[in-house]
Chains A and B, each alone.
Chain A
């Protein structure tokens, strides 16, 4: 209990400490999570809409694959990405292992299926009706796509919020591909894991509370954006 109370105190101190290292950890966490969520959204939303509205061979298999990917274990993703980008791996020449870029790539792999699956579910339910309406009102393909995105915005934002939630709270994959290097790839989740190993529970809880607070702020912003028309 003492550790938790200490954590609260330290969380407030941390936010106002102006400690460069802490701010770097917080900003890097936000940057990596937002970047991976944003890039995933660009792929996942069109894929979810296409799978939800088009009929094609092996569609059921594709849907099952998306659902399976939604529950991918982060450490497995981290390991596979690491093997690909490690110095001796096929993409080792890129030199991105233990960099924020590697962390973003790993998170994109984790987040994309989540957004795709949620958008697919919404599209499956209402997509045909929206497409039919667009057609009967004379909308062209681009206008139909915009209408689908606008009408499915609640599903899309739910997908984005869920994807962001996965990204910001993720530890296994970013630990493997980022390496938790101080001042370089250390994010809040990897810092918490490290502090726990060092027995600094109060500091770990403090960073955890900051993480929770930031998640609340970003989710609130997304929620307000979703509600606005």
Chain B
């Protein structure tokens, strides 16, 4: 679990402001869904939270500290189109444990256990570059949770994959949340998915967090008209 504090965060691309958040806190063991239309700044925000983009101004504090190597080691991010290593599924999932210097026996046990849990035994020894989209996402998720990160960031992890794979992914994410109580942030376009998984939802529009609240309240009784329009499926330009 990890507490995150955002203070006066901005991001500019070519002098254009794409993100501006004055203050926002993500509590320990939060399960936050970030929703909003394309170009709202969701991906920019999570990339900055993952330390992949530098803010133009402002800061993000991880347990009251700025980002540093130990913090990088305790968090991870899964992308919509994940990069899988040019090796077997097993080696892909084992990689984070190898760089954390776990002994081979412990790695073997942990990876095999997760592979069985996620029902991907049949592809265990397959080259990861030959997998389908759904299989690749499952492997990317397994690789992300194998080292039990305190902060898990998911950027549209189930976009463009089949319903059965979405179900497995959601089950795995939920189980990981119940067992390890990490902080999870998920960017999704799927309102139903946000409702199924998240405890809180933040709605973003034009680089700002327009509304934030408990997921059931946000979905059933949004207070902001922009949120309401988005949830009801209206196109926001």
For residue A60, CB closer than 8 A to chain B, the reply is no
For residue B76, CB closer than 8 A to chain A, the reply is yes
Which of A129, A138, A143, A154 is in CB contact (< 8 Å) with B83? A129
**Interface segment, one of B95-103, B182-190, B209-217:** B95-103
Known A137-B76, A137-B143, A138-B76; judge A229-B87 contact (CB<8 A). yes
Bound form: Cα–Cα A229–B126 in Å: 13
On chain B, the residues within 8 Å of A136 by CB distance are: 50, 52, 75-77, 144
What are the 4 A-B residue pairs with the smallest beta carbon separation, nearest first?
A138-B73, A136-B77, A129-B83, A137-B96
For residue B12, CB closer than 8 A to chain A, the reply is no
Q: Which of A130, A137, A153 has the most CB of B within 10 A?
A: A137
Q: 1/0 per residue A166-191: CB within 8 Å of B? A: 00000000000000000000000000
On chain A, the residues within 8 Å of B50 by CB distance are: 135-136
For residue B51, CB closer than 8 A to chain A, the reply is yes
- The chain A residue sitting closest to B87, CB to CB, is A229
Cβ of B206 to closest chain A Cβ, rounded Å: 26
Which of A135, A140, A151 is in CB contact (< 8 Å) with B85? A151
Is the beta-carbon distance between A143 and B99 smaller than 8 angstroms?
yes
B:66-110 near A, CB below 8 Å: 69, 72-77, 82-83, 85-87, 95-96, 99-100
Contacts A132-B83, A138-B76 given; 19 further ones with Cβ under 8 A? Answer: A133-B83, A135-B52, A136-B52, A136-B75, A136-B76, A136-B77, A136-B144, A137-B76, A137-B96, A137-B143, A137-B144, A137-B147, A138-B69, A138-B100, A138-B147, A139-B99, A140-B99, A150-B86, A151-B85
On chain A, the residues within 8 Å of B52 by CB distance are: 132, 135-136
Cβ of A135 to closest chain B Cβ, rounded Å: 7
On chain B, the residues within 8 Å of A153 by CB distance are: 86
- A-side interface residues toward B, CB under 8 Å? 126, 129-130, 132-133, 135-140, 143, 147, 150-151, 153-154, 229
Bound form: Cα–Cα A67–B83 in Å: 28
- B-side interface residues toward A, CB under 8 Å? 50-52, 69, 72-77, 82-83, 85-87, 95-96, 99-100, 143-144, 147
Cβ of A130 to closest chain B Cβ, rounded Å: 7
Bound form: Cα–Cα A150–B91 in Å: 13
Which of A126, A132, A138, A151 is in CB contact (< 8 Å) with B99? A138
On chain B, the residues within 8 Å of A133 by CB distance are: 82-83, 85
Which of A135, A143, A151 is in CB contact (< 8 Å) with B86? A151
Bound form: Cα–Cα A129–B86 in Å: 13
On chain A, the residues within 8 Å of B76 by CB distance are: 136-138
- The chain A residue sitting closest to B149, CB to CB, is A138
On chain B, the residues within 8 Å of A229 by CB distance are: 86-87
Bound form: Cα–Cα A153–B86 in Å: 10
Is the beta-carbon distance between B95 and A137 smaller than 8 angstroms?
yes
Bound form: Cα–Cα A111–B127 in Å: 33
- The chain A residue sitting closest to B72, CB to CB, is A138
Cβ of A101 to closest chain B Cβ, rounded Å: 38
Bound form: Cα–Cα A153–B75 in Å: 28
Is the beta-carbon distance between B51 and A135 smaller than 8 angstroms?
yes
On chain B, the residues within 8 Å of A147 by CB distance are: 85
- The chain B residue sitting closest to A147, CB to CB, is B85
On chain A, the residues within 8 Å of B82 by CB distance are: 133
Is the beta-carbon distance between B83 and A137 smaller than 8 angstroms?
no
Cβ of B67 to closest chain A Cβ, rounded Å: 11
Cβ of B74 to closest chain A Cβ, rounded Å: 8
Bound form: Cα–Cα A143–B97 in Å: 13
Cβ of B144 to closest chain A Cβ, rounded Å: 8
Cβ of A13 to closest chain B Cβ, rounded Å: 45
- The chain B residue sitting closest to A152, CB to CB, is B86
Cβ of B123 to closest chain A Cβ, rounded Å: 16
On chain A, the residues within 8 Å of B144 by CB distance are: 136-137
Cβ of A14 to closest chain B Cβ, rounded Å: 41
Cβ of B146 to closest chain A Cβ, rounded Å: 10
Bound form: Cα–Cα A104–B228 in Å: 72
Bound form: Cα–Cα A147–B91 in Å: 13
On chain A, the residues within 8 Å of B147 by CB distance are: 137-138
Cβ of B78 to closest chain A Cβ, rounded Å: 8
On chain B, the residues within 8 Å of A135 by CB distance are: 50-52, 72
On chain A, the residues within 8 Å of B143 by CB distance are: 137
Cβ of A123 to closest chain B Cβ, rounded Å: 14
